[in-house]
Amino acid sequence: MKAFDYAAPASLPEAVGLLASQPAARLLAGGTDLLVQLRSGRKQADVVIDVKKIPELNEITLAADHSLTIGAAVPCYRLTDHPAVQAHYPALTEVASWIGGTQIQGRASLGGNLCNAAPSADSIPLLIALSASAHIAGPAGRRSVPVEAFCTAPGRNQLTPGELLVSIHIPAPPPRSGAAYLRFIPRNEMDIAVVGAGASLTLANGVIAAARLALSSVAPTPLFVPAAGDSLLGQAPTPAALEAAAQLAQAAASPISDMRGSAAYRRHLCAVMARRALELALSRAQENQ
Protein backbone atom coordinates (compact mmCIF):
# COMPACT_ATOMS: atom_id res chain seq x y z
CA MET A 1 0.00 0.00 0.00
CA LYS A 2 1.38 3.37 -1.01
CA ALA A 3 1.16 6.41 1.26
CA PHE A 4 -1.83 8.71 0.68
CA ASP A 5 -3.16 11.98 2.02
CA TYR A 6 -6.30 12.06 4.14
CA ALA A 7 -9.00 14.71 4.19
CA ALA A 8 -12.21 14.85 6.22
CA PRO A 9 -14.44 17.65 4.92
CA ALA A 10 -17.17 18.81 7.30
CA SER A 11 -19.71 19.87 4.69
CA LEU A 12 -21.05 18.69 1.37
CA PRO A 13 -19.83 21.76 -0.61
CA GLU A 14 -16.36 21.31 0.88
CA ALA A 15 -16.38 17.64 -0.10
CA VAL A 16 -17.53 18.39 -3.63
CA GLY A 17 -14.87 21.08 -3.97
CA LEU A 18 -12.14 18.71 -2.74
CA LEU A 19 -13.30 15.94 -5.03
CA ALA A 20 -13.35 18.25 -8.03
CA SER A 21 -9.75 19.30 -7.36
CA GLN A 22 -8.47 15.77 -6.68
CA PRO A 23 -9.23 13.48 -9.58
CA ALA A 24 -7.35 10.53 -8.00
CA ALA A 25 -9.23 10.79 -4.71
CA ARG A 26 -11.05 7.85 -3.17
CA LEU A 27 -14.07 8.27 -0.95
CA LEU A 28 -14.03 6.63 2.46
CA ALA A 29 -17.16 5.90 4.44
CA GLY A 30 -16.68 2.78 6.58
CA GLY A 31 -13.62 1.72 4.62
CA THR A 32 -14.50 -1.96 4.85
CA ASP A 33 -14.11 -2.32 1.08
CA LEU A 34 -11.72 0.55 0.31
CA LEU A 35 -9.05 -0.23 2.88
CA VAL A 36 -8.94 -3.87 1.86
CA GLN A 37 -8.65 -2.85 -1.80
CA LEU A 38 -5.88 -0.34 -1.06
CA ARG A 39 -3.93 -2.82 1.02
CA SER A 40 -4.19 -5.54 -1.60
CA GLY A 41 -3.14 -3.14 -4.37
CA ARG A 42 -6.43 -3.52 -6.22
CA LYS A 43 -6.99 0.24 -5.91
CA GLN A 44 -4.62 3.14 -5.49
CA ALA A 45 -5.29 6.56 -3.99
CA ASP A 46 -3.40 9.83 -3.72
CA VAL A 47 -6.02 11.24 -1.40
CA VAL A 48 -8.63 9.49 0.70
CA ILE A 49 -11.61 11.70 1.48
CA ASP A 50 -13.46 10.61 4.60
CA VAL A 51 -17.14 11.53 4.26
CA LYS A 52 -18.19 10.52 7.77
CA LYS A 53 -17.86 14.07 9.10
CA ILE A 54 -20.51 15.44 6.69
CA PRO A 55 -23.76 15.72 8.68
CA GLU A 56 -26.09 14.96 5.77
CA LEU A 57 -24.30 11.70 5.05
CA ASN A 58 -24.74 10.55 8.62
CA GLU A 59 -28.47 10.93 9.09
CA ILE A 60 -31.34 8.46 9.11
CA THR A 61 -34.64 10.23 8.36
CA LEU A 62 -37.87 8.32 8.67
CA ALA A 63 -40.59 10.67 7.37
CA ALA A 64 -44.17 10.82 8.61
CA ASP A 65 -45.29 8.79 5.59
CA HIS A 66 -42.57 6.22 6.50
CA SER A 67 -40.40 7.00 3.52
CA LEU A 68 -36.77 6.57 4.55
CA THR A 69 -33.60 8.49 3.74
CA ILE A 70 -30.33 6.87 4.75
CA GLY A 71 -27.18 8.98 4.67
CA ALA A 72 -24.48 7.39 2.52
CA ALA A 73 -22.09 6.96 5.46
CA VAL A 74 -24.59 5.63 8.03
CA PRO A 75 -23.09 2.41 9.39
CA CYS A 76 -25.20 -0.73 9.25
CA TYR A 77 -25.48 -1.07 13.01
CA ARG A 78 -27.49 2.15 13.20
CA LEU A 79 -30.10 0.61 10.91
CA THR A 80 -30.23 -2.67 12.80
CA ASP A 81 -30.48 -0.77 16.11
CA HIS A 82 -33.20 1.63 14.88
CA PRO A 83 -36.60 0.50 16.28
CA ALA A 84 -38.70 2.38 13.68
CA VAL A 85 -36.60 1.15 10.78
CA GLN A 86 -36.89 -2.36 12.22
CA ALA A 87 -40.68 -2.00 12.36
CA HIS A 88 -41.21 -0.63 8.86
CA TYR A 89 -38.28 -2.20 6.96
CA PRO A 90 -37.61 -5.64 8.44
CA ALA A 91 -35.90 -6.81 5.26
CA LEU A 92 -33.55 -3.83 5.32
CA THR A 93 -32.66 -4.53 8.92
CA GLU A 94 -31.88 -8.13 8.00
CA VAL A 95 -29.61 -7.13 5.15
CA ALA A 96 -27.79 -4.61 7.32
CA SER A 97 -27.15 -7.43 9.80
CA TRP A 98 -25.78 -9.77 7.11
CA ILE A 99 -23.11 -7.50 5.64
CA GLY A 100 -19.91 -8.68 7.31
CA GLY A 101 -19.78 -9.46 10.98
CA THR A 102 -20.59 -7.36 14.02
CA GLN A 103 -17.32 -5.42 13.90
CA ILE A 104 -17.71 -4.70 10.17
CA GLN A 105 -21.28 -3.50 10.72
CA GLY A 106 -19.94 -0.85 13.07
CA ARG A 107 -18.34 0.78 10.06
CA ALA A 108 -19.79 -0.54 6.81
CA SER A 109 -22.59 1.49 5.21
CA LEU A 110 -25.31 0.74 2.68
CA GLY A 111 -24.01 3.76 0.73
CA GLY A 112 -20.60 2.16 0.54
CA ASN A 113 -22.13 -1.16 -0.45
CA LEU A 114 -23.91 0.61 -3.30
CA CYS A 115 -20.90 2.65 -4.47
CA ASN A 116 -18.60 -0.38 -4.35
CA ALA A 117 -20.93 -1.78 -7.03
CA ALA A 118 -20.06 -5.43 -6.49
CA PRO A 119 -22.29 -7.82 -8.46
CA SER A 120 -22.69 -9.71 -5.17
CA ALA A 121 -23.67 -6.68 -3.03
CA ASP A 122 -26.27 -7.86 -0.54
CA SER A 123 -28.12 -4.57 -0.08
CA ILE A 124 -28.61 -3.64 -3.74
CA PRO A 125 -31.22 -6.21 -4.85
CA LEU A 126 -33.35 -5.26 -1.87
CA LEU A 127 -32.92 -1.52 -2.52
CA ILE A 128 -34.01 -2.15 -6.11
CA ALA A 129 -37.00 -4.13 -4.91
CA LEU A 130 -37.90 -1.26 -2.59
CA SER A 131 -37.76 1.21 -5.54
CA ALA A 132 -34.94 3.11 -3.85
CA SER A 133 -33.11 5.97 -5.50
CA ALA A 134 -29.58 7.27 -5.10
CA HIS A 135 -29.21 10.96 -4.29
CA ILE A 136 -26.01 12.35 -5.75
CA ALA A 137 -24.23 15.69 -5.31
CA GLY A 138 -21.58 17.08 -7.62
CA PRO A 139 -20.10 20.17 -9.21
CA ALA A 140 -23.22 20.51 -11.39
CA GLY A 141 -25.59 20.26 -8.44
CA ARG A 142 -27.77 17.42 -7.28
CA ARG A 143 -29.40 14.58 -9.12
CA SER A 144 -31.16 11.35 -8.34
CA VAL A 145 -31.05 8.00 -10.12
CA PRO A 146 -32.95 4.77 -9.48
CA VAL A 147 -30.72 2.26 -7.70
CA GLU A 148 -31.17 -0.25 -10.54
CA ALA A 149 -29.40 2.24 -12.82
CA PHE A 150 -26.62 3.14 -10.37
CA CYS A 151 -24.19 0.27 -10.99
CA THR A 152 -22.71 0.11 -14.48
CA ALA A 153 -20.14 -2.70 -14.31
CA PRO A 154 -18.31 -4.71 -11.63
CA GLY A 155 -16.88 -2.07 -9.28
CA ARG A 156 -18.16 0.81 -11.42
CA ASN A 157 -21.07 3.16 -10.86
CA GLN A 158 -22.92 6.18 -12.21
CA LEU A 159 -20.86 8.73 -10.30
CA THR A 160 -18.97 11.10 -12.61
CA PRO A 161 -15.73 12.85 -11.54
CA GLY A 162 -16.46 15.19 -8.65
CA GLU A 163 -19.70 13.48 -7.63
CA LEU A 164 -20.49 11.62 -4.45
CA LEU A 165 -23.44 9.68 -3.07
CA VAL A 166 -25.32 11.69 -0.46
CA SER A 167 -28.08 9.33 0.54
CA ILE A 168 -30.35 6.50 -0.42
CA HIS A 169 -34.04 7.29 -0.48
CA ILE A 170 -36.73 4.64 -0.15
CA PRO A 171 -40.30 5.73 -0.94
CA ALA A 172 -43.02 4.94 1.58
CA PRO A 173 -43.97 1.25 1.41
CA PRO A 174 -47.63 0.95 0.31
CA PRO A 175 -50.14 -0.70 2.64
CA ARG A 176 -50.23 -4.50 2.35
CA SER A 177 -46.72 -4.62 0.97
CA GLY A 178 -43.75 -6.71 2.01
CA ALA A 179 -40.14 -7.10 1.01
CA ALA A 180 -37.38 -9.64 1.49
CA TYR A 181 -33.80 -10.36 0.58
CA LEU A 182 -32.40 -13.87 0.75
CA ARG A 183 -28.94 -15.02 -0.24
CA PHE A 184 -27.44 -18.42 -0.69
CA ILE A 185 -24.11 -19.02 1.01
CA PRO A 186 -22.64 -22.42 1.86
CA ARG A 187 -21.90 -21.22 5.37
CA ASN A 188 -24.31 -19.37 7.63
CA GLU A 189 -22.51 -16.01 7.87
CA MET A 190 -19.35 -14.25 6.81
CA ASP A 191 -19.64 -15.19 3.16
CA ILE A 192 -20.36 -13.68 -0.24
CA ALA A 193 -23.68 -14.46 -1.90
CA VAL A 194 -23.47 -17.22 -4.46
CA VAL A 195 -26.88 -15.94 -5.54
CA GLY A 196 -29.05 -13.36 -3.80
CA ALA A 197 -32.61 -12.31 -4.49
CA GLY A 198 -34.51 -9.22 -3.35
CA ALA A 199 -38.27 -9.00 -3.77
CA SER A 200 -41.17 -6.73 -2.92
CA LEU A 201 -44.88 -7.41 -3.29
CA THR A 202 -47.97 -5.27 -2.78
CA LEU A 203 -51.42 -6.84 -2.43
CA ALA A 204 -54.73 -5.20 -3.29
CA ASN A 205 -58.13 -6.84 -3.53
CA GLY A 206 -56.68 -10.31 -3.35
CA VAL A 207 -54.27 -9.87 -6.21
CA ILE A 208 -50.74 -8.61 -6.61
CA ALA A 209 -50.82 -4.92 -7.38
CA ALA A 210 -47.07 -4.33 -7.55
CA ALA A 211 -43.99 -6.52 -7.53
CA ARG A 212 -40.29 -6.03 -8.07
CA LEU A 213 -37.50 -8.58 -8.15
CA ALA A 214 -33.71 -8.24 -8.41
CA LEU A 215 -30.81 -10.68 -8.18
CA SER A 216 -27.19 -10.47 -7.07
CA SER A 217 -24.11 -12.43 -8.21
CA VAL A 218 -25.62 -13.53 -11.51
CA ALA A 219 -24.67 -10.65 -13.85
CA PRO A 220 -22.00 -7.92 -14.12
CA THR A 221 -24.18 -5.73 -11.89
CA PRO A 222 -27.01 -6.44 -9.47
CA LEU A 223 -29.79 -7.38 -11.85
CA PHE A 224 -33.27 -5.86 -11.88
CA VAL A 225 -35.71 -8.23 -13.62
CA PRO A 226 -38.80 -6.15 -14.43
CA ALA A 227 -40.38 -9.02 -16.34
CA ALA A 228 -40.49 -11.15 -13.20
CA GLY A 229 -42.39 -8.53 -11.21
CA ASP A 230 -44.61 -7.59 -14.11
CA SER A 231 -45.66 -11.22 -14.61
CA LEU A 232 -47.29 -11.08 -11.18
CA LEU A 233 -49.41 -7.98 -11.71
CA GLY A 234 -53.08 -8.72 -11.34
CA GLN A 235 -52.34 -12.32 -10.39
CA ALA A 236 -53.51 -14.06 -7.29
CA PRO A 237 -50.42 -14.78 -5.14
CA THR A 238 -50.39 -18.52 -5.82
CA PRO A 239 -47.32 -20.77 -5.61
CA ALA A 240 -47.56 -21.26 -9.38
CA ALA A 241 -47.51 -17.52 -10.02
CA LEU A 242 -44.49 -17.03 -7.78
CA GLU A 243 -42.72 -19.97 -9.39
CA ALA A 244 -43.38 -18.56 -12.86
CA ALA A 245 -41.92 -15.20 -11.80
CA ALA A 246 -38.89 -16.99 -10.37
CA GLN A 247 -38.41 -18.79 -13.68
CA LEU A 248 -38.38 -15.42 -15.44
CA ALA A 249 -35.69 -14.21 -13.04
CA GLN A 250 -33.65 -17.30 -13.77
CA ALA A 251 -34.00 -16.73 -17.51
CA ALA A 252 -32.70 -13.17 -17.16
CA ALA A 253 -29.55 -14.22 -15.29
CA SER A 254 -26.18 -14.61 -16.99
CA PRO A 255 -23.99 -16.06 -14.24
CA ILE A 256 -20.33 -16.98 -14.53
CA SER A 257 -18.38 -19.84 -12.98
CA ASP A 258 -15.88 -18.94 -10.28
CA MET A 259 -14.60 -20.12 -6.92
CA ARG A 260 -17.94 -19.33 -5.31
CA GLY A 261 -20.06 -21.45 -7.65
CA SER A 262 -20.47 -22.75 -11.16
CA ALA A 263 -22.69 -21.00 -13.69
CA ALA A 264 -25.02 -24.02 -13.74
CA TYR A 265 -25.34 -24.04 -9.97
CA ARG A 266 -25.96 -20.30 -9.86
CA ARG A 267 -28.60 -20.56 -12.56
CA HIS A 268 -30.33 -23.29 -10.56
CA LEU A 269 -30.19 -21.16 -7.41
CA CYS A 270 -31.69 -18.12 -9.19
CA ALA A 271 -35.09 -19.77 -9.38
CA VAL A 272 -34.90 -21.16 -5.85
CA MET A 273 -33.80 -17.92 -4.21
CA ALA A 274 -36.15 -15.74 -6.28
CA ARG A 275 -39.13 -17.92 -5.35
CA ARG A 276 -38.16 -18.00 -1.67
CA ALA A 277 -37.69 -14.20 -1.60
CA LEU A 278 -41.10 -13.73 -3.22
CA GLU A 279 -42.67 -16.15 -0.72
CA LEU A 280 -41.19 -14.26 2.22
CA ALA A 281 -42.19 -10.88 0.75
CA LEU A 282 -45.71 -12.24 0.26
CA SER A 283 -45.99 -13.49 3.82
CA ARG A 284 -44.87 -10.07 5.07
CA ALA A 285 -47.37 -8.33 2.78
CA GLN A 286 -50.12 -10.55 4.12
CA GLU A 287 -49.17 -9.59 7.69
CA ASN A 288 -49.16 -5.86 6.87
CA GLN A 289 -52.82 -4.98 7.10
Partner 1 sequence: MSTPTYNVIGTRPVRHDGADKVTGRALYGADLQLARMVHGAILRSPHAHARILRIDTAKAEALPGVFAVVTAADFPPAPADKLVDFGEGETPLSSLRGNILASGKVLYSGHAVAAVAAVNAHVAAEAAALIEVDYEPLPCVLTAPEAMAPGAPILHDHLPNGNIAETVHYEMGDLAAGFAQASLIVERELDTATVHQGYIEPQNATAFWNTDGRIQIWCSTQGSFVARDATAAVLDLPVSHVKVTPMEIGGGFGGKINVYLEPVAALLSKKAGRPVKLVMSRRDVFTGTGPTPGSRVRVKIGVNPEGKITAAQAWLAYEAGAYPGAMVVPGAMTVFACYDIENILIEGYDVVVNKPSTAAYRAPGAPNSALATETVLDEIAEKLGLDPLTLRLRNAAREGTRRADGPRYKRIGCVEVLEAMQASPHYNAPLPGPHCGRGVAIGFWFNVGLPSSATLSVNADGTVNLIEGSTDIGGSRASLAMQAAEVLGLRAEDIHPTIVDTDSVGYTGVTGGSRTTFATGLAVHDAAQLVVEQMKARAARLWAVDQVAFANGVFSSNGHSLSFADLAAQLGSTGGPVSCSATVNPKGVGGSFAGLIVDLHVDPETGKTTVLRVTSVQDAGKAIHPSYVEGQMQGGTAQGLGWALNEEYFMDAAGDMRNGSYLDYRMPTALDLPMIETIIVEVPNPGHPFGVRGVGEANIVPPLPAVANALYRATGKRLNRVPMNPATILGL
Indicate the residue among 2 and 205 with the shorter CB distance to partner 1: 2
User: How far apart, in whole angstroms, are the C-alpha atoms of residue 263 and residue 257?
Assistant: 5
Q: Is 262 in the site for partner 1 (CB under 8 A)?
A: yes
User: How far apart, in whole angstroms, are the C-alpha atoms of residue 13 and residue 87?
Assistant: 34
Q: Is 44 in the site for partner 1 (CB under 8 A)?
A: no
In the chain, the N- to C-terminal Cα span, in Å, equals 54
Q: Is 240 in the site for partner 1 (CB under 8 A)?
A: no
Indicate the residue among 166 and 249 with the shorter CB distance to partner 1: 249
Q: Is 186 in the site for partner 1 (CB under 8 A)?
A: yes
| Cα–Cα–Cα angle for 249, 157, 255, rounded to 5 degrees | 30
Stretch that binds partner 1, among 162-170, 190-198, 224-232, 238-246 (CB under 8 A): 190-198
Cα dihedral sign for 170, 174, 175, 178? negative
Q: Is 258 in the site for partner 1 (CB under 8 A)?
A: yes
| 3-state secondary structure (DSSP) of residue 279 | helix
198 within 8 A of 164, measured Cβ to Cβ: no
In the complex, least distance from residue 257 CB atom to partner 1, rounded to whole angstroms: 10
Q: Residue type for 55, please?
A: P
Stretch that binds partner 1, among 16-24, 168-176, 268-276, 279-287 (CB under 8 A): 268-276
In the complex, least distance from residue 40 CB atom to partner 1, rounded to whole angstroms: 8
Residues that bind partner 1 (CB under 8 A): 1-3, 184, 186-192, 258-262, 264-265, 268-269, 272
